[in-house]
Amino acid sequence: VQHPGVQELMMTDIRNLRAFAMFLQNTDVKFDLVSVTTEIEKQ
Q: For residue 33, is pLDDT > 90?
A: no
Domain layout of the chain by residue ranges: 6-42
Rounded (10°) angle between helices 33-42 and 6-25: 160
Q: For residue 38, is pLDDT > 90?
A: no
When the pLDDT of each residue in the chain is averaged and rounded to a whole number, the result is 84
Mean pLDDT of 22-33: 79
Mean pLDDT of 30-35: 80
DSSP 1-43: --STTHHHHHHHHHHHHHHHHHHHHTTT--S-HHHHHHHHHH-
Inter-residue contact 1 to 10 (CB < 8 Å): yes
pLDDT tens-place string over residues 1-13: 578 889 899 999 9
Q: For residue 30, is pLDDT > 80?
A: no
Torsional sign, CA 26, 11, 6, 40: negative
Model pTM greater than 0.75?
no
